[in-house]
Each structure stands twice: as structure tokens, then as C-alpha cells.
Amino acid sequence: MDFSLNDDHVALRDAVQRFCDGEYPAHQRGNLETPELAATRWAGMAELGLLGLPFDPELGGSGQSAIELMLVAQELGRSLGGGAWLSSVVLAGQLLAKAGTPAQCSRWLPALASGDLRLALAFGEADSRYDLSRVATAARTVNGVCRIDGRKTLVLDGDTADVFFVVARSAGATREPHGLTIFAIDAKARGVHVRPFATLDGRHAAHVDFDGVEVGADAIVGTAGEALPLLESAVDGAAAALCAEAAGAMEALLDLTAEHLKTRKQFGAPLAKFQVLQHRVADMLIALEQVKSMACAAAMAVDAGDAPQRRRIVSAAKSLVGQLGRQVGLAAIQLHGAMGMTDECRAGHYAKRLLVINQLFGDAAHHLQRLSAQPQC
Amino acid sequence: MKLEFSAADEAFRREVRAFVSANLPADIKRKVELGLRLEHEDYVTWFRKLESRGWITPGWPVEHGGPGWNHVQRYIFDEETLLGGAPRIIASGIQMLGPVLIAFGTEAQKKRYLPNIRHSSTWWAQGFSEPGAGSDLAAVRTTAVKGTDADGEHFIVNGHKVWTSYAQWCSMMFALVRTDPTAKAQEGISFLLIDMKSPGVELRPIRMLEGGTDLNEVYLDNVRVPAENLVGELNKGWSYGKYLLGHERTGIAGIGSCKQQLARARTLAEQQGLGDDPLLRSRLAQFDIELMALEFTALRLLSANQKSRVPAVEASMLKVRGTELRQAIYELLVDIAGPNAVPFSAEAQFLDCVGDLPAPVELGTLAANCLDSRKLSIYGGANEVQRNLIAKAFLAA
Ligand SMILES: Cc1cc2nc3c(=O)[nH]c(=O)nc-3n(C[C@H](O)[C@H](O)[C@H](O)COP(=O)(O)OP(=O)(O)OC[C@H]3O[C@@H](n4cnc5c(N)ncnc54)[C@H](O)[C@@H]3O)c2cc1C
């Protein structure tokens, strides 16, 4: 086992940190992004190489692993930044890189890496909760033409995506593991309706309806009818990155809280002098260290590529991080007093992101159940 | 000892329940049940129904319009109104100022202000907190200097109050002000009634995490307050403030709200197809246990204290436990919403906007409700400070 960072890791981390410090001024962190601001930041991330990080060099990327993604996610978490990075690069981009045909990869990945194109994975549905196999969206193929009908919910950054990877059922009954196929569908294709909305943590998502959208067999990403394992590994990869984001967010939040406790005076003393608050902070720090460790473990498990082990560790990480992140977020509000409940104070924005992190890609209870259903390694 | 309520108490419960179902307007009930925002009119409408039945001021003595209930009846009333989907009683006039005026006000003040509080025609803002005075309320710096001119005796008030709930709906404010800057912190404070329409009063709304703006900053710039608006004695305001906060805390366990939210959790869990989820069922059962313990504790402490008007430490205990339990139930509600807790629009918190929302309306407000519930452990004396009080009282004995 080795949890240490090499020089390249440190250089990457520092570069992302500098970028975030510039792009996400402290008093704006967590605010809803305007389209202009989002575009500038996206271009900046492209320039820094973050949008191609996990892809092969011949596709415009730098071929990095989940460890590097973790380091980046942690810095983005610290600044509540990153926009569509997680949804477009980590989730949809990696799915494509793993399963796409050479033609598909070279069509979309270089454009993604250069910041000219965004992808989004549309997998959730109104009834699916966190169950990836619960797909009602239907794909019927007649004479080589696939017709997609269905409604996808909570497509992260679905409002700005150029291409959707849509999980549809081409065979079998809802919840069956087989029969799922992923289709690449242009956001401008006929029959695609995007309904954008803001999320609790000041980000963007959309519900997307596919009404009789027609695509050819060349739109299939991966193996027809066998998309579930691919989908699962992509979602696990994103869940691992979210754990790292939570670690970064918690770290920044603790710094903010420490600053507050040292400067806010009540009863003639800084709040930091009250032992009960010191103990609260100690517990928050212990939580942070555990979250960091689990984020590292999750990233390594994603890289290792052994599916049962990946499931076990990602579930353990996501479940723990979901709980601890939310706890720390809410505790930080408490330590800020009424100030912490205001929109102006950043503590609440971190708390919101941490709350949302638990609700994405399976919450603590879901991953607890998935873990308990796993064979022991 | 007896586990059941008496037959008379049960009859009273049925009476309250029948009243709520006959008198609570359907749209208000719907807002409460969905966790949507209530408007000023909603509160006033409901409070006036209660007033017409003589039930709006359960804590007041009979001679001032109180119903003469004992603690158990008050408890049943709180529970039944909340379970029936009624708005909670928030007017700080009813729960805070009223008891202070009754105990310490002049006859003229009682005559002038109490009826308007009961009729909800005057809403009172609580002007205690300041930027530098939160948990340490004795640090208030807003000054009131006494003077006399052609128009008579008055105070000139200068300062800055903050976190003033619902000040936008209030025409009057009761405030703690410093009248003797040379005295020790708690000894130079007075309790003053300020007309919010006086020249020099300026309100600024504060935007909260979940999009609400019910809190305000209040700037007081050379505000002229007639001397007759002083409550009790000059420089004795601290003791009135403490008396008031004791009253603020008694209802704050919110057992009725806990029950209401737990019932909401069960309904939503069924609707979300989680009725058989073993993990969720055991979490719900755990909440049942904790709520039961809180409820029996409240009833036991209340019956042991039938004679004490402000059971201070007991109230603190119920406050800490009740607020934290309610917050935990709100977190559970967010978990029940699952991915549906993620979409957010501030509009989703209004009844007339529930048409085209990104999440089902009954789930769309849960995250906002959960964030809003964080205030419960901050206001009314932050829970850390309550714990200090509880421990101090015990360890000093
Ligand atoms: C929604 C809401 C509505 C409110 N409405 C009103 C209103 O209408 N009128 C009004 O006057 N005020 C109102 N308040 C203010 C409220 O009374 C204060 O927020 C409260 O007293 C805490 O003060 P503070 O926010 O300054 O926090 P601080 O006093 O700064 O406390 C910050 C943190 O430190 C802790 N702490 C402080 N002192 C100690 C100690 N000695 N030992 C251990 N821990 C300590 C606190 O528990 C808290 O966790 C409202 C607040 C909220 C959130």
C-alpha cells in the first residue's frame, strides 16, 4: 500500500489549486454560474488539460488514472467549482473512452478535451432512484433504425450537453440486468426535449425527453444489450471522484470554520476558546481524514479494474462520505450561528454541495445495501 | 401514575381536532403539509380563527384572554393543531412580549397592546440580537439616551439589530437597549417598545440559504421613542428578557412538529415504494422510540412542574432534544426524496408555482425544509449554550 503523492501529482494539484483560486473567488463559491462564467471556466479547464485528463494522448488527452482525477476533484471540491467536469469528463467521457468504437472516440473525445464539446450521461428515470437497471426508456430497432422513447431525469449538466449517452432498454423487462443499450444522441436531434433546472447546490441539470428519436446502429456505445456493467463502472468512477470532491469541500469548510471560530467573539472570548466547540472541530477533522482515506482507496479501486473489489470499496467510500460529509456540512452551519444560515456565508454553500453529494450516484443507505449484498473479498 | 391521558384530556383532544378540521382553510393546510412557504395572511387568517375560539393565547392568564389550560392541555393543543396541518404559532407578540407585558407592563401598556396582539392586528419583532451580541445577549450595544423636549420625555435610540424574524410584517418591535453604558453588562439594559414606522428605522432583508428572506437587519438612527414605551424599570431590561426567553423555549421542543414530520416521512416512503425497505423501516422505528422518549419526558417534566411557570432547565433539555430530533427527521426526509432532493427552485416553495417543477411537489421542498431546520438548534438560545446551562445548573447544585 502506498498513499504518497509523486512530484507529478503535486505539480498537478498545485496547478489546479492556482486555477481554482483565480476562477472561483472565495466569496462567490457555490453561487449559480452564469453561462458566460461557465464558458470562461470551461475554457480554462481545457487549457489546463483537465478536460482530457483520462483520455489517450492521441485523442487529445494525457492518459492519467483515477488517482489524478481524484487530485483534481479534490481541488474542485475545495472551491466548489468544476461545472460540468464531473458529468462530462469523468462520467460520460470515461464511459466513451472505455467502450466507444475508434470512430466514436475520435469523433468526440478530442473535441471534449479541447473544450469544444460536452457530453452527458442520461441514465436516471423518475422511478429508478439509484437502481441502474431500472430502465423503462425503450429502444426498438426496425430495419437498422433504432427508435428511442422515454424520459430521463436529473441529467447532470444536461442543459449544456451537445451529445447525450442515453441508457435504453432494447430487451427484457425493467430491472433485468440484460437488455440495456447505450445510444449516443445529438442534443439537437429531432425528438429531444431538454428541460433545464438549477440544483440545490447552485449547479445545472435537466430532465430530457426522447420522443421517437431515430438513430442508426452506429450510435450504439459498447455492446448492445450488455450496457449494465459498463454503466456501473462509469457511475462508480464518478462516485469515487465525488468522494474526493467531498474531501476537498470538507477541508475548505473546516478552514473557513476555524477562521470564524478564531475571529468571532462572544462572552469576551473567541469562540475557539470554548471547549465544546473545539471538540466539535476535532470530530470534524477526524471525519475529514477518514473521507480523504476513503477517497484515495476508492480511486485506487477504480484503477485496479477488479469489479467486485471496486464495488465493495466504492460503496464503502460513498456511504461513509455521504454521511460524514453531510454531518460536517451541517455542523459547520451550527458553528457559524445565524450567520451560517445566510446566503452570504459560504459555509452553507459547502453544506449544500455535501448534501447533494450524498444524493448523487447512490446515497449512504443505497451503498450500505449494495455493500452488504457483495461477497466478502 | 398512569400511561393514558384522562378521559377529560381525550375529550379535549377531540375538541381541538374537530376545531382544526372544521376551521383550517384547505390551502393553508396544504402549504403546511407540503412544507411550502406561508404568507403573512395565512398566519393571520388562522390566528384569527383561534382567537375567535379564545385559543390564540394559551399561555396567558384568564383575565387577559387566556383559556386557562394546564400544561397537559397546552401540550395536547400544540400537538393536535400541528398534526392537523395548522401553522405553528410564531407571532413573537403572543409567546414572548405578551407574558412580559402581563408580568411587568403598566396598565396603559397592557390595555394598549395586549388586545392587538390577540387579534393579530399588531405583529411584534424581537429586537434582541446584534452583530456582536448573539449567544452573549448581554453584549447589546444599541443605545437609548433619555431626554426631554417640547414633546415630552423620550429616548433617542441608535444601533443595529440583526436576525429580526418577520420584521417585514411587524409594525412594532420590542428591543433590548443599553441605557447605562457605565454599568456592568447585564445591569445597564432596558426593554423598550419601538414603533417600526418611526423616522430613522430602516429594514434590510437578509437572504437565507434556502432562498427565504424572513430575517432582517434593522438599523436605528436617532429614533425617537416616547418614555412611556419603557417596559418595567429603567436598566432592569435583562431580567425581563430572561423571563421572555424562558417563555420562548417552553414550546420549542416541537413534539407536534416531530410527529407531523414523521408522519410525512411515512407517507412519502410509501409513495416512493420504500414501504418495505428494511433499513428505512428500522430508521423510522428508531425515530418512534426517540420521539416516544421525548414525549414521555415532556409530559413527565410538565406534570412534575405544574406549579412552576418557567421550568428553565427542563425547557432547555426539551429544546435540545426536540430540535435535534426534528433535524434528524428532516435529514431522513431528504434521504426518502433520494435524487429528487437535488433539483431546487426557490419558487417551488410557493403554492401557486407547483405546476411545472423539476421534482414532484411533495419532494421538491424537502431539501429546503432540511436546511431551514438548521435554525432550530441556533435560535432560541443555541443548543451548545443550552447544554452549558443544563450542566452548570446540575454541577453547581
Ligand atoms: C432563523 C433565525 C431567526 C432568528 N430570529 C431572531 C429574532 O427575531 N430576534 C432576535 O433578536 N434574534 C433572532 N435570531 C438570532 C438568534 O437568537 C441567534 O442566532 C442566537 O442567539 C445565536 O447567536 P449567533 O447567531 O450570534 O451565534 P454565536 O453566538 O456567534 O454562536 C456561534 C456558535 O458558537 C456557539 N457558542 C456561542 N457561545 C458559546 C459558549 N459559551 N459555549 C459553547 N458554544 C458557544 C453557539 O452555540 C453556536 O454554535 C434568529 C436566528 C435565526 C437563525
**Tens-level pLDDT at each residue, chain A (377 residues):** 788 899 999 999 999 999 999 999 999 999 999 999 999 999 999 999 999 999 999 999 999 999 999 999 999 999 999 999 999 999 999 999 999 999 999 999 999 999 999 999 999 999 999 999 999 999 999 999 999 999 999 999 999 999 999 999 999 998 899 999 999 999 999 999 999 999 999 999 999 999 999 999 999 999 999 999 999 999 999 999 999 999 999 999 999 999 999 999 999 999 999 999 999 999 999 999 999 999 999 999 999 989 999 999 999 999 999 999 999 999 999 999 999 999 999 999 999 999 999 999 999 999 999 999 987 75
Alpha helices for B338-382 (secondary structure H): 361-364, 366-372
CB A56 within 8 A of CB A93: no
Give the tens place of pLDDT for each residue, B37-92. 999 999 999 999 999 999 999 989 999 999 999 888 988 999 999 999 999 988 79
d(CA B249, CA A89): 51
Q: Which of B209, B280, B378 sits opposite A334 (nearest CB)?
A: B378
Asked whether A199 and B344 are in contact (CB, 8 A), the reply is: yes
Residue B305's pLDDT is what?
Answer: 57
pLDDT digits over A195-234, tens only? 999 999 999 999 999 999 999 999 999 999 999 999 999 9
Checking if the pLDDT of B336 tops 80, the result is yes
Stretch B333-351: mean pLDDT: 89
Out of A197, A348, A360, whose CB is closest to B345?
Answer: A197
Partner residues linked to A121 by β-bridges: A165
pLDDT band for position B354 (cuts 50, 70, 90): low
Task: Please report the pLDDT score of residue B109 as a whole number.
Answer: 98
Judge whether A302 and A66 are in contact, CB under 8 Å. Answer: yes
Dihedral angle of Cα B220, B224, B230, B235, to the nearest 10 degrees: 60
Give Cα separations from B312 to A90, A315, B319, B386 (angstroms).
55, 46, 10, 10
Interchain contact, A267 vs B135, CB within 8 Å: yes
Percent residues over pLDDT 90 in chain B: 78
SS3 A32: coil
Cell representation of residue B393: 445548573
- How far is residue A122 CA from its own chain's centroid? 13
**Which residues are bridge partners to B159 per DSSP?**
B220
Long-range contacts of A52-58 (CB under 8 A, 24+ apart): A52/A89, A52/A109, A52/A110, A52/A112, A52/A113, A52/A114, A53/A89, A54/A89, A54/A90, A54/A93, A54/A94, A54/A97, A55/A93, A55/A97, A55/A109, A55/A112, A55/A113, A56/A97
Closest to B346 measured CA to CA, from A198, A30, A356: A198
Q: Does residue B282 register a pLDDT over 90?
A: yes
Rg (CA), chain A: 21
8 A C-beta contact, residue A15 and residue A49: no
Q: Per the residue annotation, which of B210, B248, B295, B314 is the catalytic one?
A: B248
Could you tell me how far CA A270 lies from the centroid of its own chain? Answer: 37
> What's the rounded Cα separation, in Å, for the pair B46 and B25?
8
A261 Cβ below 6 A of ligand 1: no
For residue B250, pLDDT over 80 is answered with no
Mean pLDDT score of chain B: 92
Say what the pLDDT of residue B311 is. 54
Residue with cell 498537478: A12
At A93, list the grid cell.
467521457
For B291-341, the three-class secondary structure string (H helix, E strand, C coil) is: HHHHHHHHHHHHHHCCCCCCCHHHHHHHHHHHHHHHHHHHHHHHHHHHHHH
Mutate to test the pocket of ligand 1, among B248, B375, B379 (most ligand atoms within 8 A of CB): B379
pLDDT for A58 equals 97
Ligand 1, atom 37, residue with closest C-alpha: B135
Measure in Å the smallest separation between the Cα of B275 and chain A Cα atoms. Answer: 14
Report the separation in Å between the CA atom of B245 and the middle of ligand 1, taken as the mean of its atom positions.
13
Q: Describe the crossing of helices A228-263 and A66-78 by its angle, rounded to 10 degrees.
A: 40
